[in-house]
Amino acid sequence: MDTRFREYDEYTEYNMNKHEQYRLNQLGEYPFARLRKLLDGLTPNPELEFIDAGAGEPRLPLPSFVQPTLDAHISGFSKYPTTTGNDFLRQSIAAWLKRRFSLKSIDAGTQVLSANGTREALFAAAHALINPNAKSKPWVMMPNPMYQIYLGAAITAGGKPYLQPCTADTGFAPDIDGISHDVWRDTALVYVCSPSNPTGWVADGAYYTKLLELAEKFDFYVLADECYSEIYYADKPIGLLEVAQNMGNTDYKRCLVMNSLSKRSALPGLRSGLIAGDASLIQNFSKLRSYTGPATPLPLQHVAAAAWVDEVHVQQHLNIYRNSLDAFFKVYGGEIPEGSFFVWLPVEDEQAFVRRAYQEQAVKLLPGSYLGAEDENGMNAGSHYVRAALVDGVEKAAELATRLQKLK
Ligand SMILES: Cc1ncc(COP(=O)(O)O)c(C=O)c1O
């Protein structure tokens, strides 16, 4: 029998399975759609200048190299780019990874891919790395609260989300100590976000080491979302690949890392990021991407390559984020998060607080529960928190704190 037909039959049977057919319906509404509904019909206080601290969209000046690089390579719009990212971009990414994480080697050809921003890549990765028909390894682990893409990816790829509650009691670290042997054995993939959106927690070397030891023992993949790695308050965050190398895992076996120019370079509209790690995972992922086709236009790849080379603008941005955190917490009080530009504030009723902030103080925030999911006990680890993004510079951060202080 022609194996292509056999595969087609299996695929049809699989699609006919009613339960599997409606995976998309298992996804909740995206947090910003829920936020729009929550604020629908309310008017922000017209006496105050509006502050949008809802979305994690950096609003800093465009780095100076963007326009000239774009101008110089504008003719590239008349060519198809490759889905892997063209050679010059992958070289530039590999060189940055080596510098930033003290890697002895990373091969641009086999261990690096370009992404159209990390969002699509974080989502697609689960589809490349987990096998929906392999019932023996259903768990896709992720922090709770989380960047909601992990949850959507796990569900649509046919995995079962396993939520790791990140609470103040554990310093917001996703638990890896209290998980049973059976769950680890049945885990296919672990998403880890460091620095974390929304809590600001940062993985240290010991945490990543333990996770990689478990990955080796129980044979699962670790996908580290490190898109806030260049935004931190005190110490530069360590990276997963660096830890793997220090453990002697110089091939980065079982590891994938994603990073982005959206946060590092304040270029969220460029839609450019990186995927790096285990060559065999990269190969599988690359195959999937050759079908889904998320190729970055060539002129934008040139801008991205220039951004990975330049650290001056990154340092300027970092100073602004650090000063914004200082300015915010000087007024509002509390503990400054280790990483990211988010502040994660405990409140009694997060939806009521967000509505009041909007109406009384002309401030847009995000309810923490919209970034979490209910666990089997009906608990949402994002409840009783709101998230504010300090993305508008130091003065606005101080003003935001003053306004939120009035709602306490
Ligand atoms: C934790 C986290 N990961 C990934 C992303 C995706 O960013 P991008 O697709 O712009 O690289 C975001 C964006 O807000 C994020 O907060």
User: Which residues touch 304 (CB under 8 Å, ≥6 apart)?
Assistant: 89, 92, 114, 261, 270, 272, 296
Closest CA to 277 of 252, 259, 295: 252
User: Is the model's pLDDT at 3 over the cut of 60?
Assistant: no
Which of ligand 1's atoms lies nearest the C-alpha of 261? Answer: 11
Q: What is the mean pLDDT of residues 65-82?
A: 97
Q: Among 309, 328, 350, which residue terminates a domain?
A: 309
More confident residue, 110 or 19: 110
Give this prediction's pTM: 0.93
User: Is the model's pLDDT at 2 over the cut of 90?
Assistant: no
Q: Among 309, 333, 359, which residue terminates a domain?
A: 309
Q: What is the mean pLDDT of residues 95-123?
A: 97
At 131, the amino acid letter reads N
Q: What is the mean pLDDT of residues 208-223?
A: 97
> Is residue 147 lining ligand 1, measured as CB closer than 6 Å?
yes
CA gap 103, 199 in Å, rounded = 28
* Closest CA to ligand 1's atom 2: 147
User: Which residues touch 393 (CB under 8 Å, ≥6 apart)?
Assistant: 59, 60, 320, 324
* Structural domain boundaries enclosing 399: 13-61+313-405
Please check whether residues 114 and 217 belong to one and the same domain. Answer: yes
Please check whether residues 277 and 349 belong to one and the same domain. Answer: no
What pLDDT band is residue 134 in, cutting at 50, 70 and 90?
low
> Is residue 138 lining ligand 1, measured as CB closer than 6 Å?
no
> How does DSSP assign 306-327, residue by residue?
HHHH--HHHHHHHHHHHHHHHH
User: What pLDDT score does 23 carry?
Assistant: 80
> Is residue 366 lining ligand 1, measured as CB closer than 6 Å?
no
Q: Are 144 and 164 in contact (CB under 8 A)?
A: yes
User: What pLDDT score does 24 carry?
Assistant: 81
> Is residue 187 lining ligand 1, measured as CB closer than 6 Å?
no
Q: Among 249, 278, 309, which residue terminates a domain?
A: 309
Q: What is the mean pLDDT of residues 360-383?
A: 95
Please give the distance, rounded to the nearest whole angstrom, from the Cα atom of residue 119 to the centre of ligand 1: 5
Residue 20 host element (H or E): helix 18-21
User: What pLDDT score does 139 carry?
Assistant: 94
> Is residue 111 lining ligand 1, measured as CB closer than 6 Å?
no
Please check whether residues 92 and 195 belong to one and the same domain. Answer: yes
Q: Which of 119, 149, 275 to mutate to test the pocket of ligand 1 (most atoms within 8 A of CB)?
A: 119
| pLDDT tens-digit map of 259-307 | 999 999 999 999 999 999 999 999 999 999 999 999 999 999 999 999 9
User: Is the model's pLDDT at 353 over the cut of 70?
Assistant: yes
Q: What is the mean pLDDT of residues 63-83?
A: 97
User: What pLDDT score does 130 carry?
Assistant: 86
Q: Which of 32, 113, 122, 262 to mutate to test the pocket of ligand 1 (most atoms within 8 A of CB)?
A: 262
Please check whether residues 297 and 346 belong to one and the same domain. Answer: no
Closest CA to 296 of 107, 125, 126, 80: 80
Output the CA torsion 118→124→128→130 (10° steps). 100
317 within a domain of the structure (yes/no):
yes
- CATH number for the domain including 394? 3.90.1150.10
At 347, the amino acid letter reads V
Q: What is the mean pLDDT of residues 376-397?
A: 95
* Total number of domains constituting the chain: 2
Please check whether residues 99 and 239 belong to one and the same domain. Answer: yes
| Cis amide leading into 195 (omega within 30) | yes
Q: Structure tokens of 172?
A: 């917001």
> Is residue 233 lining ligand 1, measured as CB closer than 6 Å?
no
> Is residue 118 lining ligand 1, measured as CB closer than 6 Å?
yes
Based on C-alpha coordinates, what's the Rg of the chain? 21
Please give the distance, rounded to the nearest whole angstrom, from the Cα atom of residue 11 to the centre of ligand 1: 32
